[in-house]
Amino acid sequence: MRNLINLASIGLLAVTLTACGKPKTTETANPSDGTVKSAAGDPKDGTNPAAATVEAKGDFEKAVKTYLSAKSDGKISGDECEKASGEFSRVYKAHGVQMAIAQFNAGVVWEECGQPDKAEPIYSGLITAAPKFDLPYNNLGVIYWKKGQDSKALDMFKRGVEANKLSARAARNNVAGLMRNQYITGTDINVFNEAEKSIQGVLALDSSNQAAYENLTRLYYDRGHLKDKSYLVLADLVATQGVRVLKAEAKESSDIYNIKGLLLLEKDNQVDALKTFKEAVRVEPTHIEANLNIGFISIRFRDYATAESAFQTALKSPAQQKNIEVWLALGVAQRGLKKYKDAEESYIKASKLNASDPRPWFNLGVLYQDHLSTQDGVEMKKGEELINIAMKHYGKFKETAGSNAAYKTRALESDDRIATIKQTLEFNIISAKLEKQAAEMAILAKKQEEEERKRLLDLEKQAMESEDSAPPAAAPPAAAPAK
């Protein structure tokens, strides 16, 4: 869960984007709405751009219009990125730190254009020029987090909170997100307490903060799932409260729906869990975790079409493309749909992700033995080729699994399957011999039948010829006359 600050306006300093791996858009304010609100802070340190000069505000609005014009077709790319970012930077250079928000937006534009490397020095420069301006700390921390530099990211988020304790909500949420990640790897209660405190700090400032409800629900779920079941009750209470609060503002959270689904799974209620995960996907079709959960449950229900669709959506995430579990599950779904070629490709991708994982090979064996070799129209010779390939896959599975106790049952099943294949091949050999003998006997019987028929025909012919060559029979004597 990463909270990124989107393009900021004078009227509304920041728009929070919540993300698991990448930003997801939430409700935003129009940066060119012209609203100027009074706020605490000093325009000299960049914390209150609403108090900047009229000229500075006017130039800022012109830069915003340039950005909106570039994005009129729904996206911004290529030369538009440089132009829009450059306009914001010119406002900053012309009016100084009172327009730190303009320079911040210059960095945001580059991030939106997929070039965080150009945004990074902009944020770093702002931290030096306007140390009390919290927004660049947060976005720079997100850049570090995405690079896997968690310690640097956490430092940035904490500095952002210190820079503006009354407004740094995204940074507080990100502190909680990183601490939550640390907690689930070590279940350190001190880490948990720090994460909880950070989220509660956000809610104290903003009682309807969506990201805070999402983070707190997830934090309580993690503790309940990993260690203390009573926290599952707390997670459910926070989730329910979050849904209610957000509904009052005409908002919904895919993350909260996803966690409510996980809570239902804790009760082994897969049917309602699936419905809840689908609610998460309704709100956010590309929600990675919800799609994964839908996929795995759908496989259990043999709804392979739904599972395949959900896994393919999840695999649009670069992180999930490296997840062997997803490729294995996708292969099972495709196998169930009789998309055997696709299933094989999925298993092969899984095998390449982790050469020490034997499961792809077992699944390939099952694919060849139980499905490819048993298709309609597969002749014996072709079938033998396919089950021989299956036997090699089982052998590879056993070789890779070695003495790993986790695969003991599968190893025994592989032995049984190999034995079955060998018996099938032996039976086919015997069957082929018997079929050959039967064919030879049929030929012999036919030959004997033809010979017997010919013999009988010859005898008949001879008989007819003998009858034709015999002398005519004598006439019978005349009868005596009557007296």
CATH code assigned at 272:
1.25.40.10
Number of domains composing the chain = 4
The pLDDT score that the predictor gives to residue 43 is 62
Q: Which long-range contacts (CB under 8 A, 24 or more apart) does 417-422 make?
A: 417/365, 417/366, 417/369, 417/390, 417/391, 418/391, 418/394, 421/369, 421/387, 421/388, 421/390, 421/391, 422/391
- The answer to whether residue 261 sits within a structural domain is no
Query: Are 339 and 370 in the same domain?
Result: no
Q: What is the pLDDT of residues 449-463, one digit of tens each?
A: 888 888 888 888 888
What is the chain's mean pLDDT, rounded? Answer: 86
Question: 337 and 320 in one domain?
Answer: yes
Note whether 38 and 137 are same-domain residues. yes
| Judgement on whether residues 210 and 64 belong to the same structural domain of the protein | no
Boundary-marking domain end, from 167, 188, 213: 167
Q: Is the same domain home to 232 and 310?
A: no
Q: Which range, 122-126, 174-178, 376-380, 470-474, has the best average confidence (pLDDT)? A: 122-126
Considering the domain boundaries, does residue 60 fall inside one? yes
5-9, 118-122, 406-410, range with the lowest pLDDT: 5-9
Domain residues for the domain of 37 are: 1-167
* CA–CA distance, 79 with 69 (Å, rounded to integer): 13
Query: Which range is least confidently modeled, 156-170, 219-233, 294-308?
Result: 156-170
Give the residue from 140, 167, 194 where a domain finishes: 167
**Average pLDDT estimate for 102-126:** 94
Condensed to tens digits (0 to 9), the pLDDT of residues 403-413 reads: 999 999 999 99
Tell me the torsion sign for CA atoms 151, 155, 156, 158. Answer: positive
Could you tell me if 20 and 78 lie in one domain? yes
**Is 104 domain-assigned?**
yes
Backbone angles phi, psi at 62, to 5 degrees: -65, -40
Q: Are 369 and 348 contained in the same domain? A: no
Please tell me the least confidently modeled range out of 77-81, 238-242, 302-306: 77-81
- Decide if 478 is inside a domain: no
Give the per-residue pLDDT at 296.
96
Determine, yes or no, domain membership for 417. Answer: yes
Q: Which of 26-30, 170-174, 278-282, 336-340 has the least mean pLDDT?
A: 26-30
> Which residues, 6 or more positions from 102, have their beta carbon under 8 angstroms from its beta carbon?
59, 60, 63, 88, 89, 91, 92, 95
In a domain, 172, yes or no: no
Residues 92 and 209 both lie in one domain? no
In a domain, residue 148? The reply is: yes
Name residues whose C-beta falls within 8 Å of residue 43's C-beta, 6 or more positions apart in sequence. Answer: 49, 51, 52, 97, 98
Q: Using the structure block, give the residue that is written with the tokens 């979050």.
A: 242
The residue from 353, 385, 404 where one domain ends is 353
247 lies in the same domain as 281? no
Asked if 211 and 349 sit in the same domain, the reply is: no
Residues 328 and 374 in one domain: no
